[in-house]
Amino acid sequence: SVHEFSTRPFPEKIPHFDYDSKMKVLKVTQNGAIRWKAYNWVYLSASLQGKHIGALDIGNGIWRVFYRNVFLGYFDEHVFRKKEQSVRLETNLV
């Protein structure tokens, strides 16, 4: 008797999102990481499995990573020391 139904419509499907043409669009794997340049991995989050992210080059090998309009963090592509090594995103790199 106290509950009131919401008047806002609930979409059945989340609308498709198009990233800016300057961004590199990558798909997050089942382990929550993206493959970077064939041998390297950047770990994002397991909650982004199967989603597409956008990476924007801001210079000197530093990339800003977004999920839709949400800024996730930075990574430096020069940090990879050897093949098959992974890194995590940082929020205070720049």
Once rounded to an integer, what is the mean pLDDT over residues 53-78? Answer: 92
pTM above 0.85, yes or no: no
| Cβ-Cβ contacts under 8 Å for 15 (sequence gap 6 or more) | none
pLDDT digits (tens, 9 = 90+) for 7-63: 888 888 888 899 999 999 999 999 899 988 877 888 888 999 999 999 999 998 899
CA distance 44 to 53: 10
CA distance 52 to 24: 10
Specify the pLDDT at position 37. Answer: 83
Specify the pLDDT at position 18. Answer: 93
Once rounded to an integer, what is the mean pLDDT over residues 75-93? Answer: 69
Once rounded to an integer, what is the mean pLDDT over residues 69-94? Answer: 74
- Rounded to a whole number of angstroms, the distance between the first and last alpha carbons of the chain is 53
